[in-house]
Amino acid sequence: MSDDEEAVLAKWGSWDALYTYLARLVRELSPVVCGHHTPVPTVEVKPTWLARGLLGGQHSGADYEPAEGQRPAVIGLFPAVLTDEALLRLVVAHELVHHWEHLGAQGADELPSSDAAATIIAARFTNAQRERRWRSGHSSYFIAKASSVAATLGVQLRQLLFS
């Protein structure tokens, strides 16, 4: 067991307790982000080594896999974020914005563009290539929805975008 996994067990007491909490958190946030009548993704804890990505990429605290066939959408969480409940809430909300996009981004055309988000993103990346790479996984609809979700949840947009 990795040090991260030991810290997770020390925080939650058991994997069952953690999964119960995660299921409740996703059920709580999903209607806020995606709407009330959308499928709720499942949650999996993934091993730390997968956070490095199979092709050399890097995930921060989680990844999102859209539904495929009979398999539901999955939010995969890495142990590094599982001991901080505030961070975990941000990470799950971020992944749910990806889920909302994959469900068709309902209402996206009604979301205002966010000048604040553009400023935050530009300040975050000093390297244009890294910014392009981040933007390749985060569309203008994602950014606008994240801005709306951050306001609804009362969290900083910067934290939601980059969690």
Q: pLDDT digits over 109-121, tens only?
A: 899 887 889 999 9
Residue position matching structure tokens 């985060």: 138
Residues across the chain? 163
Can you give the pTM of this predicted structure?
A: 0.91
- Type of residue numbered 15: W
Q: What is the pLDDT of residues 25-52, one digit of tens each?
A: 999 999 999 999 999 999 999 876 665 6
Strands (DSSP E) contained in 4-160 are 42-45, 62-65, 74-77
For 4-25, write each residue's pLDDT tens digit.
Answer: 888 999 999 999 999 999 999 9
Supply the pLDDT for residue 58: 53
pLDDT single digits (tens) 69-103: 999 999 999 998 999 999 999 999 999 999 999 99
Neighbouring residues of 154: CB distance < 8 A, sequence distance ≥ 6: none
Q: Is the pLDDT of residue 57 over 90?
A: no
